[in-house]
Structure 1
Amino acid sequence: MKSQRIEPILVLYTTSGCHLCEQAETLVRQQTAWVGTVEIVDDAELLERYGVRIPVLRRPDTGGELNWPFDAAGVRRLLSDHPSD
C-alpha cells in the first residue's frame, strides 16, 4: 500500500533562533497537527517578504495570514476560513 504525502493546511514561516517562532509553533500545534514550518532564510523571496514579520502563519489555499502576536482563537478562525471559489 502506497503512503500518501499529506500537505499541511497551515504554514508557519520561521527562522532558527527565533524564540517568538518557537512560541508560535507551540501555540499552533496545540490547535492542529496540520502545520508545516518553512525556514525563510533559505529563500531570498521569503526572507524579503517575511523577514521583519516572522513568525507568520499562512493558509496557502485561502491566502489568509496571521502576523504575530496571534492567539488560539485566531488560529481557529484561520482554520475555519473557506477557500474562495
Structure 2
Amino acid sequence: MTDAITAWILSALGYLCTAPATAGVAGDASLAGPLLGNLLVAGGAGLVTLTCIVAALWMLIAPGERDLDHPKYGVLRADH
C-alpha cells in the first residue's frame, strides 16, 4: 500500500515539475510546470532548513536536560 501511495506522489510531483501549462485558448506551452516544480523543491528545502535552524537554536537555548548524572555535566563542571 505504501509503495503505491509513494509511486502516485512521485508521479504527481514529476508531472508538476515537467508538464508545461497551457495558457489561454491557444494552448501555448509555457514554463509554468517546471517553474512550479522548482518553487516546490526550493520551498521544501527552505522549510526543512529553517526547521533545522529553529530546532538547533531551541536545543541550544533550552536543552531540557535536568538530570544531574547526565554526562554533559561531567564535561561542563568547573572543578575538572
TM-score bin (small chain): under 0.3
TM-score, with structure 2 as normaliser: 0.26
Structure with bigger gyration radius:
2
TM-score, with structure 1 as normaliser: 0.25
Identify the structure with bigger relative contact order (alpha carbons < 8 Å, sequence gap 6+): 1
Higher share in helix:
2
